[in-house]
Amino acid sequence: MGVAMSLLRFLSFLLLGGVAVALATQPVSVQAQLATSVSVIFLLALLWKFSRGAEARQLFIALALFVVLRYVYWRITSTLPPLSDPVGLTCGSILLAAELYCVAMLLLTLVVNAEPLKREPAPQIEDEALPTIDVLAPSYDEDASILATTLAAAKSMDYPADRLNVYLLDDGGTDQKCAHPDPAIAERARARRAALQELCAALGCYYLTRERNEHAKAGNLNAALEHVDGDIVVVLDADHAPFRSFLRETIGYFFEDDRLFLVQTPHVFLNPDPIEQNLRTFRRMPSENEMFYGVTQRGLDKWNAAFFCGSAALLRRAALDEAGGFSGVSVTEDCETALELHAQGWTSVYVDKPLVAGLQPDTFASFIGQRVRWCQGMLQIFLLRNPLLKRGLEPLQRLGYLSSMSFWFFPFPRLVFMLAPLAFILFDVKIFVSNIEEAIAYTATYVVVNAMLQNYLFGKVRWPWVSELYEYCQGVFLSKAIVSVFLRPRSPSFNVTAKGAAPTQDRLSELAWPFFAIYGLLALGAGVAVYRCVAEPGVRQLMFFVGLWNMFNLVTAGVALGAVAERRRRETHPRLPVERRGALVLGEEHVRVAIEEVSAGGCRLRAATESDAKALAAAKETDGRLYIDSIADAARRPSLAARIVGVAPDGRRHIAFALSQPQDHLALADLMYGDATALERFQAARRKHKGIIAGTVQFLWWGVIEPLRAFAYLRPRASEAALREPPPFADLSNLLGRRQPRLRPPAEAKAPRAAERAPSSKNENA
- Residues assigned a catalytic role: 171, 334
Instruction: Give the burial string for 367-405 (b: 16+ CB within 10 Å, else e).
Output: bbbbbbbbbbbbbbbbeebebeebeebbbbbbbbbbbbb
d(C-alpha 342, C-alpha 229), whole Å: 23
Whether the CB-CB separation of 623 and 608 falls below 8 Å is answered with: no
d(C-alpha 267, C-alpha 399), whole Å: 23
Strand segments (E) across 361-445: none
Pairing of strands 623-628, 639-647: antiparallel
Torsion of CA 466, 472, 473, 479, to 10 degrees: 140
Per-residue DSSP letter, 503:
B
Find the length of the chain. Answer: 766
d(C-alpha 45, C-alpha 41), whole Å: 6
By the 10 Å C-beta count (0-12 exposed, 13-18 middle, 19+ buried), 192 is classed as: buried
By the 10 Å C-beta count (0-12 exposed, 13-18 middle, 19+ buried), 50 is classed as: exposed
Strand segments (E) across 406-530: 507-508
d(C-alpha 126, C-alpha 94), whole Å: 60
Whether the CB-CB separation of 263 and 250 falls below 8 Å is answered with: yes
Strand segments (E) across 171-328: 206-208, 232-235, 241-242, 260-264, 268-269, 313-316
d(C-alpha 32, C-alpha 744), whole Å: 80
- Over the Cα atoms of the chain, what is R_g? 28
d(C-alpha 324, C-alpha 387), whole Å: 19
d(C-alpha 331, C-alpha 377), whole Å: 5
By the 10 Å C-beta count (0-12 exposed, 13-18 middle, 19+ buried), 217 is classed as: buried
Whether the CB-CB separation of 682 and 576 falls below 8 Å is answered with: yes
d(C-alpha 732, C-alpha 194), whole Å: 10
Whether the CB-CB separation of 337 and 322 falls below 8 Å is answered with: no
Q: What is the largest CA-CA distance in the chain?
A: 92
d(C-alpha 655, C-alpha 582), whole Å: 13
Q: What is the enclosing helix (H) or strand (E) of 655?
A: strand 653-657
Q: What is the enclosing helix (H) or strand (E) of 586?
A: strand 576-586
Give the three-state DSSP class for 81: coil
By the 10 Å C-beta count (0-12 exposed, 13-18 middle, 19+ buried), 605 is classed as: buried
Give the three-state DSSP class for 239: coil
* CA 9 to the chain's CA centroid: 31
CB neighbours of 166 closer than 8 A, spacing ≥ 6?
135, 137, 151, 154, 155, 203, 204, 205, 206
Bridge partner list, 626: 584, 640
Q: Sign (positive/negative) of CA torsion 336, 338, 339, 343?
A: positive
d(C-alpha 74, C-alpha 85), whole Å: 20
d(C-alpha 120, C-alpha 249), whole Å: 11
Strands lying side by side in the sheet with 164-170: 206-208, 164-170, 133-139, 232-235, 313-316, 260-264, 347-350
Helix (H) and strand (E) counts in the chain: 26, 18
